[in-house]
Amino acid sequence: MESKTNGENNLRKKKRKPVWVFPWGYPEAFLIMAAVLLVGFAMEWVTPGDGLSAPAWPWNGVIGAALILGALILQLALPKNPVVRWLSQVPASMGAIAAVTLSVLLMGLFLQGQPSGISWIDRLGLTRMATSWPFLLSISWFLFVLAMTTVRRSIPLRGRNIGFLLNHLGLWIVIAGGILGSGDLQRVTMTLSDGQTVWYGTDRDGRTVELPLALELQRFHMEEYPPKMGMLDHDTGSLIIRGEQDLVEVERGRTGYMSGWNYEILRFFSESARIDDRFEPIHDIGAAPAAQIRAVHAERGDTVVGWITCGSFNMRHQFLELEEGRAMAMTVPQSKRYMSLARLYTQSGDNRMIDIEVNHPYSAEGWKLYQFSYDDRFGKWSPISIIEAVRDPWLPVVYTGFIMMLLGAVYLFWLGKDIGTELTQKTDGEDWNPGATDGQVALDSPPGSTETSGPAGTSGSTETSGQAAGTRQETEVS
């Protein structure tokens, strides 16, 4: 029986195997990939909308459980079914990888998040791929195939498959947790202003969401880098920058040369106000940096002394005119760090002072509080601070997947030393299409273990070789 199968395969090797005749291989994988994308775009076309979103708990949990249980049941009940077998092998995986690649590629080429104004592009969902049908179907197909592959390799659980499982299961957990978890992800912004207590946020659709905590802004604090100065070309309206000497930090005593002029910074105040035709240091709302400059033309020797400032929301900027079309100008300082000092009240009765800084969110009551924004018209004098509150109950799931993938990466690194040798042992020899090609080379298995096992070690060697012959032949078709 087995030898007949092999014989048939060898005979068919001369001709093309008709598509959809078992065993399936690459042609079937890519046809399904095309179908997934076409159906996705068709659904997008006939159901115009603002995009899809994952269902909230418990339905996202149900979908996740159904995917896992479905894969488990199929693998346990029908391990020898040719479709189940094909779903657990590289050709199906490559088809699923290709489907995801194509939909992500579209995401990478079209500007996302705002309609293009071209009706067919918008109607196909190309400007919001992450919430479109083609992406959803591609990633679902990918997750299903990945689940089938992973489950198959986990029965029975073997130590030598540890690298495979860390990478494949880890990736599955990350993607499934991320996509399903987005149904429970809440992101709201809280606009705080001095002395007001805020216990609600606004989500992206403008809905108000009540929070189990409240914030009362005590102070918004910003530190800035020193401003810079450069030579302004009045014709183009921009600074003349040819190298790093052309845009320098303003500090007292600095001397240098730019665009034909030698300069010296005589005085510098980081916060100052204009008084008549000079500037004096002052710490008050709307104070701006200012510097007094002496500029001497390098050849002619004419000297200009005067003040420059970048100004603020209530102070006009000021250039130092040097010659026709040329002036010294100061740039608006960039922020170095900014943070909100606020009092936090929680439902459980806590009441404490906290600070929320960029890159240093604060966790309370299952929410993470982020310094999000401020009123940039006022810069460091902003009267408001915007905090983003994020609740993501699936985060531990996704991070579990991350940790598995990190360990899997370490494993790949370790494997990297030898894998090439091992793989090329199969390529080495007189024949470049060695019959030993196993339909299911144990990807990520430790060296020395790849040569025999079929899917999860369940299949006998004859089945494997029959299947391998089929796979090889199909690949030649593709």
Partner 1 sequence: MTWSAFPAVFAVSAGLWGAAVAGVYLARLKPRAEIMGHLFFWAGMAVLTIFILGLWGSLDRPPMRTLGETRLWYGFFMPLIGYLTWRRWKLSWVLAYSILMAVVFLGINVLNPDVHDRALMPALQSVWFVPHVIVYIFAYALLAVSAIVAVKALYEGRRGQFRVKTITLADNMVYIGFAFLTLGLIFGAIWGKEAWGHYWNWDPKEVWALLTWIVYLAYIHIRAHRPDLVRPAMWTLAAAFVVLMVCWFGVNYLPSAQGSIHTY
Q: Which stretch binds partner 1 (CB under 8 A): 16-24, 153-161, 194-202, 389-397?
A: 389-397
Tell me, by CB under 8 A, how many residues bind partner 1: 78
Select 297 or 411, whichever has its Cβ closest to partner 1: 411
- What residues contact residue 163 under an 8 Å CB cut-off, 6+ apart? 408, 411, 412, 415, 444, 445, 446
Which SS3 state, helix, strand or coil, does residue 360 take? strand
Please list every residue from 338 through 357 that binds partner 1, using CB under 8 A: 338, 357
Q: Rank residues 158 and 297 by Cβ distance to partner 1 and give the closer one.
A: 158
Closest CA to 61 of 177, 171, 185, 187: 177
Interface with partner 1 by CB under 8 A: which range of 41-49, 201-209, 255-263, 364-372? 364-372
Strands 335-346 and 326-330, bridge-based pairing: unpaired
Site for partner 1 in 178-237 (CB under 8 A): 178, 185, 187, 225
Binding segment (CB under 8 A) for partner 1, from list 40-48, 60-68, 210-218, 240-248: 240-248
3-state secondary structure of 67: helix
- Please check whether residue 288 is in contact with residue 309, taking contact to mean a CB–CB distance below 8 angstroms: yes
Which one of 39, 62, 298, 358 is in contact with partner 1 (CB under 8 A)?
358
CB of 15 to partner 1, least distance (A): 20
Beta-carbon contacts of 225 under 8 Å, excluding residues fewer than 6 positions away, are 249, 333, 334, 335, 336
Alpha helices in 226-364 (DSSP H): none
Q: How far is the CB of 302 from partner 1 (least distance, A)?
A: 28
Stretch that binds partner 1, among 40-48, 59-67, 300-308, 392-400 (CB under 8 A): 392-400
Q: Which helix (H) or strand (E) holds 218?
A: strand 208-224
Closer CB to partner 1, 72 or 390, in the complex: 390
140 vs 440, beta carbon nearer partner 1: 440
- Beta-carbon contacts of 205 under 8 Å, excluding residues fewer than 6 positions away, are none
Interface mask (CB under 8 A) for partner 1, residues 93-112, using x and -? xx--xx-xx--xx-xxxxxx
Nearest to partner 1 of 221, 294 (CB atom) = 221
Give the residue with the Cβ less far from partner 1, 304 or 437. Answer: 437
Query: Contact 361/368 with Cβ under 8 angstroms?
Result: yes
Residues 415-434 that bind partner 1 (CB under 8 A): 415-417, 419-421, 423-424, 426-428, 432-434
Neighbouring-strand partners of residue 351? 345
Contact between 448 and partner 1 (CB under 8 A)?
A: no
Nearest distance from residue 181's CB to partner 1, in Å?
A: 10
Nearer to partner 1, 306 or 466 (CB): 466
Give least dist CB 389 to partner 1, A.
9
Q: Peptide bond preceding 289: is omega within 30 degrees of 0, i.e. cis?
A: no
Q: Which two tokens stand for residue 59?
A: 């339905």
Element (H, E) at 99: helix 90-109
Interface region with partner 1, contact rule CB under 8 A, candidates 199-207, 321-329, 437-445, 452-460: 437-445
In sequence order, what DSSP letters do the residues of 302-325 get, joined into one string? -EEEEEEE--BTTB--B-EEEETT
At closest approach, how far in Å is the CB of 324 from partner 1? 25
* Minimum distance, C-beta of residue 375 to partner 1, in the bound complex (Å): 16
CA distance 399 to 392: 12
Place of tokens 């179908």: 35
Q: Which residues, numbered 278-337, are part of the site for partner 1 (CB under 8 A)?
A: 334-337
Among 21, 42, 410, 477, binds partner 1 (CB under 8 A): 410
> What residue type is assigned to position 294 of the chain?
R
Footprint of partner 1 on 248-267 (CB under 8 A):
249
The distance from CA 390 to its chain's CA centroid, rounded to whole angstroms, is 17
Under rule CB under 8 A, residue 270 binds partner 1 = no
Residues 6+ apart with CB under 8 A from 265: 250, 251, 252, 253, 254, 255, 291, 292, 293
Helices 133-154 and 162-181 sit at what angle, rounded to 10 degrees?
150
Cβ 396 to partner 1 shortest distance, Å: 12
Q: How many CB atoms sit inside 10 A of residue 456's CB? A: 21
Q: Which of residues 75-94 bind partner 1 (CB under 8 A)?
A: 89-91, 93-94
Contact between 406 and partner 1 (CB under 8 A)? yes
